[in-house]
Structure 1
Amino acid sequence: MVGKALGLLVLLGDEPRGASAADISRRAGLPFSTTYRLLGSLTRDGFVDYEPDGRRYHLGLRVFQLGQRVSNHHGFAGTALPILRRVTGRTAEATILSVRDGIHHLTVNKVDGPQTFRVTSDPGHLGSLSATAVGKVLVAFAEDAEREHLLAELPLERLTDRTIVDRDAFRAEIEAVRRRGYAVMDEENETGMRALAVPVLNAQGYAFASLATAAPVFRLTVEGLEAHLQVLLEAAAELADRLPQR
């Protein structure tokens, strides 16, 4: 039952506007009575909030509290945040820190730029490893055996008309990322957005995180992003020195 309850929390995490018990039951593949009982227990313990007017469930503050503890433990808040703010101060664009979570990247921190157009990859966001700059870096600089596994098995979902969905082309892209030391996303994950990412490397030379600058296409060309490469590399080296390495 614990696993089922945790599965419901994961499903709710994909529903920023909340979901009804019937919707959650259907998505979880559980009987409605089981889902309703589990949601009641999670609500009583503060892991889930219930909105009576819309009869919808949302993640509760208890989840946020635990998430903040994890973030602080790994240094993503106190240690990393000032470095991300410094990068954004120099680039005037959003700075994103991500780690790998299975076949996704997980955004663990982000600092928005001063411009009015926001990047939507907020902390807690799970995204594609194959279609994003941060994801490509995490694949390219994974441990050798893990990289080969991802190259062979990672789902290549088409998100835009520029997403790489051919297995050989994806392998070639990852090899190019390893050669040049950074990855670019040019509207492959989201139409109208570009990003450039570099690895945050452990002592063995493998990425335990990735750091990116992201901007809308109308504001920065690929060459404009690449002009910020040295800023990102310096920040990634500082993060590698200061963050606990997983």
Structure 2
Amino acid sequence: MSEDNSTLFNQSLEKGLAVLRAFDAHRRTMNLAEVAEAAGINKSSAQRMIHTLEQLGYVRKHPLTKRFQLTPRVMEIGYNYLAADTLVDVANPFLAELAQVTGETTNLTEPDGLEMVYVARFVAPKFIPIHMPIGSRIPMYCTGSGRAYLSALMDTQIDTLLGASDLKRHTLHTLTSMDEIRAQIEATRRQGYATNKEELFLGDMTIAAPILGSQGLPVAAVHVVAPTSRWTLEEAERKLAPAVIECARAIRTSIRTL
């Protein structure tokens, strides 16, 4: 729970959101005690939050197991963000064109804390090793889109974000050394695109470029998925990187005209 002591801060709302966020792929259903533990609140608070959310239609209780689960109404909140996000509207035609030109899946991610969040995606008909639906989150430090975004920040900002990240090893290829990650970010600055080769998921490789806003600061990143079953890193850099860079530039230009 937050340590904000402001009189304007609503702790009940914070607890309610904590309950909603407690449900995930590992906790699809929970009983009251599990909800309290996952949300970091006491059982009495959990009971009030669950009851309220159930009455509002965001949570339901299974009639037989008596376990709670989210309802589709929760998706309304996320959809409203996407519907109001001008960047998504601007980027979609360029992502579609990039997917057609490359023949591969294209994605738009935006930063949130230490992670990048998928907000747009055009899936190619070809096989891709990992399914990443809208709303999926990936760490900045070991992904192409994350490094692309980081490359457009000031050094002090990069150090702060990397310093707060849990630099854990997801695969045998994950870079966890601060020096190695910074070297990748510096390379991204020089060449205009970032790469990730199986650092988060085996078989998954990406080429990414940052999208800069009207103030010249990064607001998102675009990346193409280049599965290792079809691409070598050298081929992906030679054939895909120019198209990814051009896509990011076109989105940036369109943002400026809004």
TM over 0.5: yes
Once the two structures are superposed, residues 113-149 of structure 1 have per-residue CA deviations (whole angstroms, 9 ceiling, x without a partner) of 1114353221111111111101111111124432231
1 CA distance for matches of 2:127 and 2:171? Answer: 24
Deviation >4 Å, runs of 4+:
53-56
Aligned residue in 1 for 2:76: 65
User: Which is worse superposed, 140-149 or 205-214?
Assistant: 140-149
Select 1:196's aligned residue among 196, 207, 210.
Answer: 207
2 CA distance for matches of 1:79 and 1:119? Answer: 26
Change over 3 Å in CA distance of 1:43–1:174 after alignment to 2? same
Letter of the aligned partner of 2:29 in structure 1? A
Once the two structures are superposed, residues 62-113 of structure 1 have per-residue CA deviations (whole angstroms, 9 ceiling, x without a partner) of 3322222211222254332222121111111111110110011111111111
Aligned residue in 2 for 1:157: 168
**What percent of counterpart residues are identical?**
28
CA contact (8 A) 2:167 2:176 kept: yes
Change over 3 Å in CA distance of 1:199–1:28 after alignment to 2? same
Letter of the aligned partner of 2:193 in structure 1? Y
Aligned residue in 1 for 2:4: none
Letter of the aligned partner of 2:207 in structure 1? L
Is the counterpart of residue 141 in structure 1 residue 152 in structure 2? yes
Report the structure number with the largest CA radius of gyration. 2
Letter of the aligned partner of 1:18 in structure 2? R
Please state how far the C-alpha of 1:219 moved relative to its aligned partner: 1.3
Q: Secondary structure at the match of 1:173?
A: helix
CA contact (8 A) 1:24 1:35 kept: yes
Change over 3 Å in CA distance of 1:55–1:162 after alignment to 2? farther
CA contact (8 A) 1:19 1:57 kept: yes
Letter of the aligned partner of 1:138 in structure 2? Y
Once the two structures are superposed, residues 200-235 of structure 1 have per-residue CA deviations (whole angstroms, 9 ceiling, x without a partner) of 012343211000001321111112322111221221
Aligned residue in 1 for 2:106: 95
Letter of the aligned partner of 1:195 in structure 2? T
Select 2:254's aligned residue among 234, 242, 246.
Answer: 242
What count of residue pairs does the alignment treat as equivalent? 244
Aligned residue in 1 for 2:117: 106
CA contact (8 A) 1:98 1:210 kept: yes
Change over 3 Å in CA distance of 1:69–1:242 after alignment to 2? farther
CA contact (8 A) 1:75 1:244 kept: no
Select 1:120's aligned residue among 126, 131, 136.
Answer: 131
Once the two structures are superposed, residues 156-177 of structure 1 have per-residue CA deviations (whole angstroms, 9 ceiling, x without a partner) of 1211111111122222221121
Select 2:245's aligned residue among 203, 220, 233.
Answer: 233
Change over 3 Å in CA distance of 1:50–1:140 after alignment to 2? farther
Letter of the aligned partner of 2:142 in structure 1? A
Aligned residue in 2 for 1:15: 25
CA contact (8 A) 1:76 1:108 kept: no
User: Which is worse superposed, 193-202 or 60-69?
Assistant: 60-69
Gaps of 5+ in 1: none
Change over 3 Å in CA distance of 1:207–1:40 after alignment to 2? same
1 CA distance for matches of 2:160 and 2:21? Answer: 25
Change over 3 Å in CA distance of 1:34–1:69 after alignment to 2? same
CA contact (8 A) 1:119 1:215 kept: no
User: Which is worse superposed, 204-213 or 93-102?
Assistant: 204-213
CA contact (8 A) 1:140 1:175 kept: yes
